[in-house]
Structure 1
Amino acid sequence: MNHRSRRALALASLAAGVLAAGAAQAAPDFQMPFACNNVWVANTWDGHSPANSVDMNRPAGGGATAGATVVASAAGTVQTSMYSTTTGYGHYVVIDHGGGWKTLHAHLQSRAVAAGDKVKQGQKIGLVGNSSAKYDLAPHLHYEQIYNGAV
């Protein structure tokens, strides 16, 4: 299954769950939080917190994960850009895309945006890292698509 097929399947599944919950707001046209033509592996597991969040890293031979550029999945306004010592997120960015939709990007090595900044889809927002003060992590991007508070 190629990148576009996986993305379409994931978005269709998410949209079905949202519609089943009675929501009428369509999701933004999310892209992967990396530049096109990059290969990334996305994983989650039972017990991942929060449920339905995804960790992304490069496959073996796919280039360095640490320091890779993270981009906005869709246009929006940066709601949060900070370092947390209590959540396990380390450096993280939350973007409000409107209509109840947000994305969260965590464990960043560094952040390239500040709260209140307007961002375009594909704009650099930070670099992949392992900045959690709570957990000893290999470099990866922890990513969440959030609709009305639910991941």
Structure 2
Amino acid sequence: MAKKMVQRKIVLWLGGLIGISGFGIIVLVMIVVLLIVGIAGGSASQTVNGGGSYCSVTGEVNHDLMDSTLAGAGKLAGTKDMIIQLSSEKGIDPVLFAAIAIHETGYGTSNAIVNKNNPGGLMNPATGSRELYVFDTLEEGLRGMANTLHNRIIKDGLVTIEDLGSVYAPVGAGNDPNGLNGHWVPNVTSIAEELGGLTMNCEQGGDVLIVGDKAWPVPSTKTITSVYGFRTIKVNGVWQSRLHAGVDIAGGNVNGKPIVSYAAGVVTKSQNHAGGWGNHVVIDHGGGVQTLYAHMIEKGVPVGTQVNAGSYLGRVGSTGNSTGPHLHFEVYVNGQTVDPMLYLTPILAGASES
């Protein structure tokens, strides 16, 4: 895993610390120290809001994510090596190739791929382009799709998902009365992220901050909007003191931005709209340490995925018990929650000193 050391002055906007107790004083001291460290770090931080699509953290294909995603894509299961080989021959991004194929075939289940071996929706010119081309084998169909993508990307210069969408699924086209073409770009983008991120012609969703073998979980922002600790909230009209068992990370245009793994480990939970956490992922890092990433916009990477520090997990959202887009991040040690800033502060401090 490539490790990008980014020099930053980290500014935290803190909210949600209500009341002063012994615990609150400890948290407050930690915050002050963090701010001092950030100020000493030098130049001001700049949040990068990545336009376009999320890039692979390493700049290379994430083979584990590509395998697991294609395994659930019907007839496309087991085609990773073929897609990578054809992409290499044609000079195109294998992740983009796979993402378009998955979308065009409804995760490998459409009539075009099942009965015609046609993953790219290619039309047969012999029929006046009124009927889908029928390929003898899926390999032939993938090769035909690779040729088409080569022509669009390399020859025509349509290098981004947005560019390709204007050809594959033009918004407002006469043959799209229900406006379904408007879903093409966001869906292909989402699948590319699910596959681990593009390897060509993309913009990072913020610098992935990795210090040592640990990563800041939301590359696009370092803003803390709520800290760990007890806070007073109204439940059924009654004010109660409740433990906020993690930290909330938000700020700026964070909705839909990538969430990455704090450290190496294996995904043990990846649940869809499960209670107050909404879509969330849990990673076991070994040694009794686990991390939780909640309120994702959609279900994250699948259970069993092996991740490294900075590996893509999903995207920031507001599912579950949430009032706006943010990442709720928790750390467990031997099954008990602890203040995540004990683990995140060294990342910020290390970036300031580098």
User: Superposition RMSD on alpha carbons, in Å?
Assistant: 2.9
Which residue in 2 is equivalent to 1:53?
Answer: 246
Cα distance, 1:56 vs structure 2: 1.2
Match of 2:307 among 119, 129, 151: 119
AA of the residue aligned to 1:143: F
Of all paired residues, the percent bearing the same amino acid is 33
Question: Matched residues in 2 for 1:6 and 1:29: separation?
Answer: 20
Q: Is 1:6 matched with 2:195?
A: no
1:88 to 1:112, Cα distance in 2 relative to 1, 3 A: closer
Structure number with higher strand proportion: 1
Cα distance, 1:51 vs structure 2: 4.1
Q: Which has the larger radius of gyration?
A: 2
Cα distance, 1:136 vs structure 2: 4.9
Check whether the contact 2:301–2:313 (CA below 8 A) recurs between aligned residues: yes
Q: Is 1:31 matched with 2:224?
A: no
- Per-residue Cα deviation, 1:115-149 (whole angstroms, up to 9, x for no partner): 011011101101010111xx352111110011001
1:112 to 1:51, Cα distance in 2 relative to 1, 3 A: closer
Which residue in 1 is equivalent to 2:281?
Answer: 93
The secondary structure found in structure 1 opposite 2:34 is: helix
AA of the residue aligned to 1:96: D
Check whether the contact 1:34–1:122 (CA below 8 A) recurs between aligned residues: no
AA of the residue aligned to 1:65: V
Check whether the contact 1:95–1:104 (CA below 8 A) recurs between aligned residues: yes
Q: Which has the higher contact order (CA 8 A, sep 6+)?
A: 1
Which residue in 1 is equivalent to 2:265?
Answer: 76
Check whether the contact 1:106–1:141 (CA below 8 A) recurs between aligned residues: yes
Q: Is 1:103 matched with 2:296?
A: no
1:34 to 1:136, Cα distance in 2 relative to 1, 3 A: closer
1:115 to 1:50, Cα distance in 2 relative to 1, 3 A: farther
Check whether the contact 2:296–2:317 (CA below 8 A) recurs between aligned residues: yes
Cα distance, 1:112 vs structure 2: 3.9
AA of the residue aligned to 1:144: E
The secondary structure found in structure 1 opposite 2:336 is: coil
Cα distance, 1:47 vs structure 2: 3.5
Which residue in 2 is equivalent to 1:40?
Answer: 223
Structure number with higher helix proportion: 2
AA of the residue aligned to 2:248: D
Check whether the contact 1:101–1:145 (CA below 8 A) recurs between aligned residues: yes
In the alignment of these two chains, the number of paired residues is 124
- Per-residue Cα deviation, 1:15-61 (whole angstroms, up to 9, x for no partner): xxxxxxxxxxxxx95432022x7432242252486544111111xxx
1:143 to 1:50, Cα distance in 2 relative to 1, 3 A: farther
Question: Matched residues in 2 for 1:115 and 1:92: separation?
Answer: 11
Q: Calculate the TM-score normalised by the size of structure 1.
A: 0.70
Check whether the contact 1:103–1:145 (CA below 8 A) recurs between aligned residues: yes
The secondary structure found in structure 1 opposite 2:303 is: coil
Question: Matched residues in 2 for 1:103 and 1:111: separation?
Answer: 16
Q: Is 1:64 matched with 2:248?
A: no
Q: 5+ residue gaps in structure 2?
A: 1-8, 11-32, 38-211, 233-241, 338-354
Q: Is 1:141 matched with 2:327?
A: yes
The secondary structure found in structure 2 opposite 1:6 is: helix
Check whether the contact 1:111–1:125 (CA below 8 A) recurs between aligned residues: no
Q: Calculate the TM-score normalised by the size of structure 2.
A: 0.32
